Structure 1
């Protein structure tokens, strides 16, 4: 059975990822999200890895982002996924880039909240993934490589 690394920030991004029932039922999924005070996904999904939250406006952002890259490298080497699927946000960038560098398939699903423009993570990953899925047709008009997947919710 193929292994899929499911990566998303906590909150709405993780909620969207947990809605991919067909993927979850068909593949061996390994879950990665941020550690915070509001853990709810561990009850419904066996979250395998928690990583620290990274906020690009924090003073220590460069150091935390570098640590996140190292952690992502470790997790990918340990889990050996065939594919990485992410709905964002910032924590997904290192996982998607490293997986792509290692020849893995990478699928990025832009947030449901993004109707007219890509998120920062979406803009950064747009040219570096195998499949870029948007949930709104309006967004696909601006980005020719984007595939409309419809709403997750």
Structure 2
């Protein structure tokens, strides 16, 4: 079993790292938008990708093609992401390849699911929230990764 774990920088990356105990019995490869993060996952395959967001459309295009190339060569069984835009792009690409996908919405979104998380409910196989009161028929609660 191979997992591709994807996130952008900041809190998304920290939350992704907090999920590492869940990856103990599988091969996990990491992908993020900052090359220096590779030092945080020593011994694991790491892919650096361009960043993009709703204000940087060109960055999103570059990010899409970089993720596409990694998914084609890595061939993960599961893609998991804590967001944001690069993670959402990875989910879309995963679906193109019939790869199982998981979105874990940021703990910072305590009042509602994030904009990307709302989109993920239409794409991902499973969407998790880190706040019990946000659980519904599309979004599951299983605890939080920072708790």
Asked if structure 2 preserves the Cα contact closer than 8 Å seen for 1:33 and 1:47, the reply is: no
Q: Deviations over 1:100-153 (max 9, x none)?
A: 12111000000011112111211111111111111111111xx42111011101
Superposition map of 1:23-34 within 5 A: 23-34=22-33
Asked if structure 1 preserves the Cα contact closer than 8 Å seen for 2:100 and 2:125, the reply is: yes
Q: Deviations over 1:10-41 (max 9, x none)?
A: 111111111113322111001000127xx3x3
Q: How many positions carry a matched residue from both structures?
A: 144
Aligned to 1:98: 93
TM-score normalized by the length of structure 1: 0.87
Q: In structure 1, what is the Cα distance between the partners aligned to 2:143 and 2:22?
A: 15
Q: In structure 1, what is the Cα distance between the partners aligned to 2:142 and 2:8?
A: 20
Higher helix share: 2
Secondary structure at the residue paired with 2:112?
coil
Aligned to 1:116: 111
Instruction: Report deviation, 1:47.
Output: 5.4
Structure 1: state its 5+ residue gaps. Answer: none
Asked if structure 1 preserves the Cα contact closer than 8 Å seen for 2:28 and 2:45, the reply is: no
TM-score normalized by the length of structure 2: 0.91
Q: In structure 2, what is the Cα distance between the partners aligned to 1:9 and 1:88?
A: 6
